[in-house]
Structures are given as structure tokens and as C-alpha cells.
Amino acid sequence: MRYKLSDCVTIISGGTPKKSQESYWNGNIPWITVKDFNGKYVSTTTDSITLEGLKHSSANLTEDQDILISARGTVGKVLMVGAGYTFNQSIYCLRADRSVLVPDYLFYWLEKNVSLVKQGTHGSVFETITKDTFDHLTIDLPDIEEQKKIAHKLSMFDRKINLNEQINDNLLETCKTNLHQLINEKEYEVTQIGNLDLIVSDHVANGSFKSLKDSVKYFDEPNFAIFLRNIDLKNRLDGNLKYIDKTSYNFLKKSHLFGGEVVISNVADVGSVHRVPRLKHPMVVGNNQIFIRSKNQSMNDYLFIFFNSKWGQHAIHSITSGSAQQKFNKTDFKKLNIPIPTDNWVDNHISPFLKMTDLNKAETRLLKRIKSSLLNKYF
């Protein structure tokens, strides 16, 4: 049966307590922004508010299995939450009428039909959806039992994907613990304090620049090469991927990636550190990022963990400057002196754990492809 989406959900707006009121922030109530949308389920939130902040703002609390959808800027990202979360005004909460609509089914319908949601956006500078947008969306609903069956099949994939990501988070924490012991306990495996420019045997380079855009064609659909303009903070290839054709890829030859490189944001999201996955597709890195490629894979593994640690972040921030926009340059970065362990230490304490994360990520990519085919089948 076909419904107007606004007839089978309650639409709830978000809000932000006054930033200037310290008593409103850093409480026990998680507060979600679009940057917390990673996968189906929320894991952690960057910010939290107090009960006082909740009472003195337009923020609202979620209930179990509410669906959040981003409504401004990056429109159409969806997230399922439990009870007790709050969210800002760039997000709508959709609360399903469970007499006709299963919340999980709604989540997957929105995930598959994000293009329909975006068709209802407004604004010349930022894409925005309003409550009226949901009046113009219609949804075909099978009976409740059929909705549950479909949602259950798709949820199995998301649960496994979520588990893989939790395991990978734990593996990375193990690597950081091992690094902490190495540096704090001054283990003998630290051979030297080395200059980064001398340590990296291949090169440290900038990604492609916006000034090249006239010579590069970007595509939203898969093409010859993946253009990694952003890898998210959990080092995943989720969302907003761009692609380029073979001519553009050849033009950007100085920014080619082959897997295993370390990519560090040097403008805006300064210090965000990523490890490039090994994929069958050609890849190229975008602007505002520096990438490190060493001929020694153990060194790549070590640098990824080091620059993700408090010592690495401190080193990056020591060369970061700018009032309007924080940034650092490649020259200063290459002069950084950092502790360097033996290859043997890295092979025992870092690389095995990263290999396990790679296997989990490969499985996750496969699971997402299968899930995508099921979304196409059911919706």
C-alpha cells in the first residue's frame, strides 16, 4: 500500500544549546551532529549536553529505533539510534508509526531512496530539506510481517559490518598501547630519533590541488579510478566518493596511490590520519592531504599508528598555524623528528594487527556490495 511518508512518521526537529553557556555542555546526554553519522548505528558522539542544556534549548530526546536524517549540507545520511540521544537543528528525527511501518524498514528505504530525498532540497549555497519535503515523498509498504523479514535480512549485514568496525577499533587501540609501552618504557627496540625526510625511502607528497580541476573530470558513478577526496575519521571509504576517468588519472600521476600509504590532512581537518586500503581499482588522493609512501611497508604501518597517537598529533600540531584556517606545509612536516623502532618490533607489535584490520575491511566491503544488491532487489 502506498503512503505519503509524512503520514506514517512523526517528524521531530533538533536544536543546539547556547555554546556560550558552559553549564549546558559536557554532560551525560549524547548530542549528535552530522559528523557522527557513520554506518547504521551511532557508536560515539563528539559532543554531549547537560539536562539543563536540554531544558533551555529546542533539542529533543530520541526514543528507541528512531531514525535520524541529515537535512542540511550533506543531505540524506541516515542513522538509527536508541533512546536518550539529542541532535542538532541540521537533523530531523523520524519516528515511525509502528502500526504501519517497521523502523528498520524505514531506515533501509531511506538509505536506498536518498536520491528522492535530495530532489526535495532547497537553497543555492547549502542543500536543505524541510518538513515539507516529507509531504512529497511516497513509500510503498508491504504488510508488517513482510517488512520485518526484509529488514531482518538487511540488518544481519549491518550487524556484521558494525562488529567488524568495533573489532578494528580494538585492534588499533592495541597498537597504540604497544606504542605507548615502546616510547614510555624506552624499550631497546627504539633505534633512533629520526628525521622523517630521511626515514621515508620513497617520498612525502601533496595530493592533487583544486587548481587542477579544469583538467580533471569528476564523476559520481564508478569510473576508471577512485578519487579519495576524503576518508572519514574511522578510515572508511563511506559516502561521497568521487571517481575520475583514465585521462584525469594519468594527469594526476603524482598523486597515484597503490595501497598502504599514510594520508594526513594538512588543511581544515588537520591531523586526521588515514591508511589507504589495497583495492583493485586505481586510486588518487585529493587536495588538502599529504601522503607518505615508504618502500618499507613496516615503516608505513608504524607511521600510521604513530601519527594517530598523542605523540604524533602533538608533532603535527607543533607545525600547524593559521588563524582563519589551520594548516601545515609539507616542508615542515618532512623535518619532524620522531622515534623510530626496529623493523622487528613493528613486525611483532603493529603489522599483524593492521593485517587483521585489512581483512575485516575487505570483508566489510564485500558485505556492503551484497547489501547493496539486496537494497536494489527490495526497494
- Strand segments, DSSP code E, in 246-331 are 256-257, 262-265, 273-275, 283-285, 289-293
pLDDT at 201: 56
**In this structure, is residue 22 part of a structural domain?**
yes
**In this structure, is residue 170 part of a structural domain?**
no
**In this structure, is residue 317 part of a structural domain?**
yes
- Mean pLDDT value across residues 68-86: 91
pLDDT, tens digit, for every residue of 102-117?
Answer: 999 999 999 999 888 8
Residue 23 belongs to domain spanning: 2-141
Share of the chain above pLDDT 90, in %: 51
Indicate whether 102 and 8 sit together in one domain: yes
Indicate whether 230 and 275 sit together in one domain: yes
Q: Residue 129 corresponds to which cell in the numbers above?
A: 530539506
**In this structure, is residue 355 part of a structural domain?**
no
pLDDT at 90: 93
Q: Which residues pair with 10 in a beta bridge?
A: 95
**Domains contained in the chain, number:** 2
Q: Note the helical H segments in 66-208.
A: 103-112, 114-118, 144-184, 196-199
- Mean pLDDT value across residues 269-284: 85
Place 198 in a pLDDT band, splitting at 50, 70 and 90: low
Place 192 in a pLDDT band, splitting at 50, 70 and 90: low
Place 233 in a pLDDT band, splitting at 50, 70 and 90: very low
Q: What is the mean pLDDT of the chain?
A: 87
pLDDT at 107: 97
Measured from the Cβ of residue 331, the count of other Cβ atoms closer than 10 Å reads 10
Indicate whether 31 and 129 sit together in one domain: yes
**In this structure, is residue 365 part of a structural domain?**
no
Listed range (87-101, 179-193, 300-314) with the worst mean pLDDT = 179-193
Q: Is the pLDDT of residue 271 over 70?
A: yes
User: How far is 134 from 153, CA to CA, in rounded Å?
Assistant: 26
Q: What is the CATH number of the domain that holds 207?
A: 3.90.220.20
Q: Is the pLDDT of residue 160 over 60?
A: yes
